[in-house]
Amino acid sequence: MPASTRHHRALAVFVHCLGILAALPALPSAAPEEAAAAPRPPAATPAPAAATPPVPGAASPVAVAARASAEPTPPSAPPAVAPPSPTPAARLPQPVTVAVAPESSPAPRYRIHVRNVGNSPIDTTVRQELPPGASATAITAGGRSTGGGSANEVTWRLRLPAHSSTTLGTALAATAPGQPLTAPACAFTSDGSRPYDCATATWHGAAAPAEVSEAPAWRRYPVLLAGLAVLLLIAAGAVGLWRWRRGRRRLTAAALAGGAGSDGGRGTIYPRPATPTPPRRRRTPPVWLLVGAAVAVLAGVVGTAGWTATRRVAAIDTQKQPTSGAWRGTGVSGPMGVPLRESAFEFTVYRMSCGVPGTARSADGGGAAPASGQRCQATVGVRNITGAQQPWHGQLQRAYLPGGRWVSTDESATRSANLGRDVFADPMAAGSRVVLPLVFTVDGRDPPRQLELRSGVFSAGVRVDMP
């Protein structure tokens, strides 16, 4: 083989090897799962020093192993899958459950079923909030009526054996007979500070006959039809009178034209020569007829417009709050004890109780409070009505005071009321429901007049009126 051919082949092999070496970094690396699944090759065990004599100038196997262990290990590749999002913390089921049901009776009556689902006896305090203006006439199982909370309430102190249930009953006397009454009930711990469970029910009395208020005369159909008929009769009479007068004038003009001749009105036996008829001027309706017709048309238009506008104004629901722009859903308002839904949550306020003014201190778990401040604790039920987990925040829950001022949830005091658990830290799971206390620190002696609860910043939220 000539020398030039050998040189060309060696150069081609060299270039080919360089291309392979350059393409190696571009090859896809093994997946993390495959790398983790592949067994790591065992480390080579150095041969005994006596089997192989040391070569002068070469490093010993011990030195090579020391250098290999001293070299830094390259960092591992980041995981291919992002870490999972935080999941809602699992909440333990409450050992006491409550259910409230109204009775079909002429007077408001309620049955409260309290059940201990735990394996040990439990001391509990059951409270039922009475609607404003209602008073208890009959209480079963040794309950008593007290004046705590946002209104009058009925309180029972029970000791429930394991896996047992009891039924309580109340009968109320309302100031307005036949009006629906809502009376929620909650089971608390023995000291009455933390709720186990709450429920609510609305008693509907016999439907009272609705008072029918007579509409104004100008909005009644018979009156409108009678007015329209009178206007038509007037218009028809005016047209008939105008046509009659026009006919009389034509007859008079014809008589005058036929009786006037060259002989001064004297008769003749010869026919008179035909005289040219003077051009007749087209007569227009009288002014009073035009004015009357215009007034009738104007009255009809004004009456129809007023009736339509009144119907549209009467159809407007003044209880709904206007929502537009970035708000999600429609704002809902209601009394305490009634479930109210917004875009993601269903809120139910079962109870509101405030302490003595001037007793709000930092030592009770809350933040800084004014000298005349007081803690108001609301027992709220929250249900996630969506199909996904939903976060919510304490700063979006507000208590409105007299005069339009409002305060957000005192998160430190709320954490203390929930035994150190931050109820806003974890999102609520889909379809879950919790009953928890929310604490508000207010200044002055007046309790909150309204609570505003919402799931998100752009949610229209709900407003609950305090009695």
Mean pLDDT calculated for residue range 362-371: 59
pLDDT: is 261 or 449 the higher one? 449
Mean pLDDT calculated for residue range 96-106: 92
Q: Given this chain, do its domains 96-203 and 332-465 carry the same CATH topology?
A: yes
| Gap between the Cα atoms of 81 and 200, Å rounded | 46
Q: Where are the alpha helices (DSSP H) in 260-387?
A: 287-314
Q: What is the pLDDT of residues 385-429, one digit of tens each?
A: 999 999 999 999 999 998 889 999 999 999 999 999 999 999 999
- Looking at the chain, the whole-number percentage of residues with pLDDT higher than 90 is 36
pLDDT band for 115, please (50, 70, 90 cuts).
Answer: very high
pLDDT: is 193 or 211 the higher one? 193
Q: What is the pLDDT of residues 421-438, one digit of tens each?
A: 999 999 999 999 999 999
Assign a CATH topology to domain 332-465.
Answer: Immunoglobulin-like (2.60.40)
Q: How many helices (H) and strands (E) does the chain have?
A: 6, 20
pLDDT at 269: 54
User: Does residue 72 register a pLDDT over 50?
Assistant: no
Domain regions of the chain by residue span: 96-203, 332-465
pLDDT band for 61, please (50, 70, 90 cuts).
Answer: very low
Q: What is the pLDDT of residues 240-299, one digit of tens each?
A: 787 787 777 777 777 766 655 445 555 555 555 555 666 666 667 676 777 777 777 877
User: Does residue 60 register a pLDDT over 70?
Assistant: no
Rounded to the nearest 10 degrees, the angle between the axes of helix 287-314 and helix 221-259 is 170
Mean pLDDT calculated for residue range 352-378: 73
pTM for the predicted model, two decimal places: 0.58
pLDDT band for 45, please (50, 70, 90 cuts).
Answer: very low
| Exposure b/e, 81-106, CB count within 10 A at least 16 = b | eeeeeeeeeeeeeebbbbebebeeee
pLDDT band for 63, please (50, 70, 90 cuts).
Answer: very low
User: Does residue 441 register a pLDDT over 80?
Assistant: yes
pLDDT band for 460, please (50, 70, 90 cuts).
Answer: confident
pLDDT: is 217 or 362 the higher one? 217
Cβ 376 vs Cβ 438: under 8 Å: no
pLDDT band for 178, please (50, 70, 90 cuts).
Answer: confident
Cβ 52 vs Cβ 59: under 8 Å: no
User: Does residue 188 register a pLDDT over 50?
Assistant: yes
Class of CATH domain 96-203:
mainly beta
pLDDT at 80: 44
- Looking at the chain, the whole-number percentage of residues with pLDDT higher than 70 is 65
| Gap between the Cα atoms of 79 and 194, Å rounded | 44
